A = this chain, B = another copy of it.
Amino acid sequence: MKLKVGDYAGVGCIVDSCLHCSACDDDLEQYCEHGPTLTYNGMECDGVTPTFGGYSDQIVVKEHFVVKVPETLDLKGAAPLLCAGITTYSPLRHWKVGAGDKVGVIGLGGLGHMGVKFAKALGAHVVMITTSPEKGRDAARLGADEVLVSRDAEAMARHAGSFDFLLNTIPVGHDVNPYLALLKRDATMCLVGALEELTPAVNGVNLIIGRKSIAGSAIGGMEETQEMIDFCAEHGIVSDVEIVSIQEVNEAWERLAKNDVKYRFVIDMSSLKAAA
């Protein structure tokens, strides 16, 4: 048993998967060949029962899909680790980011702010790459060693060919070509947010010259999610959050759409009782 009565149990984006395909065998349930069951807006393995997410003060989940949240972690700041945390931790680990690497985190939001914290804790030299100089100032507080404003063509040219890894957290389709120019030979830019068409189009020459790669990565498996949250406890990492009540959720949604949150809203589910 992973948990005993009284432990803090964390439930992230996945609540089920087939557990017998090659992805599940490799502890990568997020890539389950039969499709993982997402916690929200998903379907259970029966293919007909919808999942309704975690906006509740109770949830029933198979033990395999629960992580033990260390007691030393601040619970409010730990909640987003189970999505934004693992989404950024997993590719940094998969591409073996560590000391001596120059890592760029592209985009400073819920994902990007975790990417900066993790890349720094893993020992990398971290460059926050953002369109917005104001966001850049906050990046230093989060641990970034440098800020690169992507609209500054001269600054982009100075950093050309210098990055060992780019974690691209931009959540919409965008022009990735200027970022590919930042990569060293044989280096990878990993997308974690852009579930959309990358327009203007990627130019093949930007991959061919320098043997560069564009990759993608989705959340993480249960074993790695536990590893991530233990890493957070060890390094004192949580997400920067703003607590809202369930009554404030519509306003929070509107602010989220305007990118007005540093950097994740967390709903205090005890406010459900007030709503009832």
Residues of A within 8 A of B (CB): 22-23, 28, 31, 33, 94, 161, 173, 185, 188, 191-218
B199 touches A216 (CB 8 A): no
A107 to chain B minimum Cβ distance, whole angstroms, is: 13
| Shortest distance from the beta carbon of A61 to any chain B beta carbon, whole Å | 22
Chain B residues, Cβ within 8 Å of A188: 213
- Nearest chain B CB to A196's CB is how many angstroms away? 6
- Known interface pairs A185-B31, A197-B200, A201-B173; A207-B211 also in contact (CB < 8 Å): no
CB <8 Å contact, A214 and B214? yes
Contact A205 to B195, CB < 8 A, known contacts A185-B23, A210-B31: yes
Residues of B with C-beta under 8 A to A209: 31, 216, 218
A31 near B211 (CB under 8 angstroms)?
Answer: yes
What is the bound-complex CA distance between A185 and B21, given in angstroms? 12
Q: Does B203 lie within 8 Å of A201, measured CB to CB?
A: no
**Chain B nearest CB, measured from A207 CB (Å):** 3
What CA separation (Å) do A195 and B201 show in the bound complex?
12
Contacts of A28 in B (CB 8 A): 185
Q: Are A195 and B202 in contact (CB under 8 A)?
A: no
Across the interface, name the chain B residue whose C-beta is closest to A174.
B204
Q: Is the CB of A192 within 8 A of B208?
A: yes
| Alpha-carbon distance A210/B35, docked complex (angstroms) | 11
User: Which chain B residues lie closer than 8 Å to A200 at the CB level?
Assistant: 197, 201
Q: Pick from B202, B206, B213, B218: contact of A201, CB below 8 A.
A: B202
What residues on B are CB-neighbors of A33 within 8 Å?
Answer: 161
Q: Could you list some 20 contacts between A and B, CB below 8 A?
A: A23-B185, A31-B185, A31-B210, A31-B211, A173-B204, A188-B213, A194-B208, A195-B205, A195-B208, A197-B204, A205-B216, A208-B216, A208-B217, A208-B218, A209-B216, A211-B215, A211-B218, A212-B215, A213-B213, A214-B214
